[in-house]
Amino acid sequence: MRDKNKTVKYRIGIIANTAFSLINFRGPLIGAMSKRGMTVYAFAPDYDDRTRSVIRSLGATPVDYSLSRAGMNPFRDIVDLLKLSRQLRNLDLDASFSYFIKPVIYGTLAACLARIPRRVAMIEGVGYVFTEGERFGLRRRVLRTLVIRLYKLALSQTQRVFMLNPDDRKMFAELGMVDPVKVRLLNGIGVELDQFIVEETSAESVSFILIARLLKEKGVYDFVEAARIIRREHPRVRFILLGSVDLNPGSISQEEVRAWVAEGLVEWPGHVNDVKPWIAQASVFVLPSYREGLPRSTQEVMAMGKPVITTDVPGCRETVEHGVNGFKVPVRDPAALAEAMRTFISSPHLVAPMGRASRRKAEQTFDVHKINAEILEAMGI
């Protein structure tokens, strides 16, 4: 163990559920920490040679740890928690920073066992078990009860919790999962604005893109049904569905997506490493989600100057000023979604000015460097 009385660099562990998320979502934050002279350890369960190299290029040390991303096996999770606690203790950290549901719960508890003095969590969205759906069966109710209890336990051991919208903060506080005094609201996780160039599309044809994990709660079925409605009237309108199937219980199957492609409703490139060329092709971004934290995809398309059609639900409503940079529609309403699409199809001259309004809002609100500075200030770093 190092001598706490000696002057040393600040040491922090960032605990994630995938190496990809560390690079894609936390890369600028890791870089900002490294530039401040901090020693950063980036924990992920699925490193390969490429992702290790990228993490090192950001100034951090990649650390492998064991985590079961899908499902809840109490024995496996407890064993993983104890293993992670030993790893954290051996690194003698000053702080831990966990995000996504399992790292927040088990990473925070492991950090507590390891006696890390400062423990911080980020809740980027409430997740599958808290998203209201048409069916809320016994299994989901049991899982929800378990997650509430685990969140209560883990978040009671934090000094700071970052959240992305006031509805999530209210729900977590009302369910007793977090002391609202600990919560700091952020304007999303932010994007590097200079990496997203505004590219206005031709006003001659309007196309729509949805970028998301292929989950029911992302509104994928509503997007496809709206596409079906529109293509009966305008068969040449393009609908691009960008994303991959997921381990999440709400995931849509590959067979369903391939059937939509065969029907001619959507184009489906699957998961792509760089979304920017696809955003550039589209006129309007669509996210008919049932609930979000504050979606990174929407921040990215706004940075590229695209109008947005999204649902009037927590995490989505914050991104759109209705009639200014896009439209808000009722949730689970493909007909209303199609009607908003018709507005752009019949009035394509709206695309460019609404896109410019999106970019202005992104510049004002979603600058990742400003948000990361706020995170570090709130952590006392």
Residues 161 and 203 both lie in one domain: no
Residues 22 and 115 both lie in one domain: yes
For 363-374, the pLDDT digits (tens) are 999 999 999 999
Residue 176 lies in a domain: yes
Q: What is the CA angle 202-204-209, rounded to 5?
A: 60
Residues 159 and 263 both lie in one domain: no
pLDDT at position 71 is 64
Residues 246 and 141 both lie in one domain: no
Judged against a pLDDT cut of 70, whether residue 349 lies above it is answered with yes
Place of tokens 């493909």: 334
- Say if CB 67 and CB 17 are below 8 A apart: yes
pLDDT at position 246 is 78
For 155-168, the pLDDT digits (tens) are 999 999 999 999 99
pLDDT at position 282 is 96
Residue 4 lies in a domain: no
Judged against a pLDDT cut of 70, whether residue 331 lies above it is answered with yes
Residues 212 and 360 both lie in one domain: yes
Residues 6 or more apart whose Cβ sits within 8 Å of residue 276: 196, 197, 300, 304
For 86-109, the pLDDT digits (tens) are 999 999 999 999 999 999 999 999
User: How many Å separate Cα 328 from the centre of its chain?
Assistant: 20
Residue 216 lies in a domain: yes
Judged against a pLDDT cut of 90, whether residue 54 lies above it is answered with yes
For 3-45, the pLDDT digits (tens) are 444 434 799 999 999 999 999 999 999 999 999 999 999 999 9
Residues 171 and 228 both lie in one domain: no
Q: What are the φ and ψ backbone dihedral angles of 200, each rounded to 5 degrees?
A: -75, 135
When divided into structural domains, the chain yields a total of 2
Residues 166 and 254 both lie in one domain: no
pLDDT at position 286 is 98
Residue 6 lies in a domain: no
Residues 170 and 233 both lie in one domain: no
Judged against a pLDDT cut of 90, whether residue 172 lies above it is answered with yes
pLDDT at position 3 is 47
Residue 3 lies in a domain: no
pLDDT at position 7 is 36
Residues 177 and 55 both lie in one domain: yes
pLDDT at position 5 is 41
For 55-82, the pLDDT digits (tens) are 999 999 999 999 987 667 889 999 999 9
Judged against a pLDDT cut of 70, whether residue 284 lies above it is answered with yes
> pLDDT category, 339, cuts 50, 70, 90?
very high
Query: Mean pLDDT across the chain, nearest whole number?
Result: 93
Residue 110 lies in a domain: yes
Residue 82 belongs to what domain range?
Answer: 11-190+367-378
pLDDT at position 53 is 98
**What's the CATH number where 300 sits?**
3.40.50.2000
Percent of the chain beyond pLDDT 90? Answer: 85
Mean pLDDT (whole number) for 310-332: 97
pLDDT at position 70 is 66
Judged against a pLDDT cut of 90, whether residue 240 lies above it is answered with yes
For 214-235, the pLDDT digits (tens) are 999 999 999 999 999 999 999 9
Residue 1 lies in a domain: no
Judged against a pLDDT cut of 50, whether residue 1 lies above it is answered with no
Residues 181 and 66 both lie in one domain: yes
Residue 218 lies in a domain: yes
Residues 289 and 309 both lie in one domain: yes
Residues 26 and 106 both lie in one domain: yes
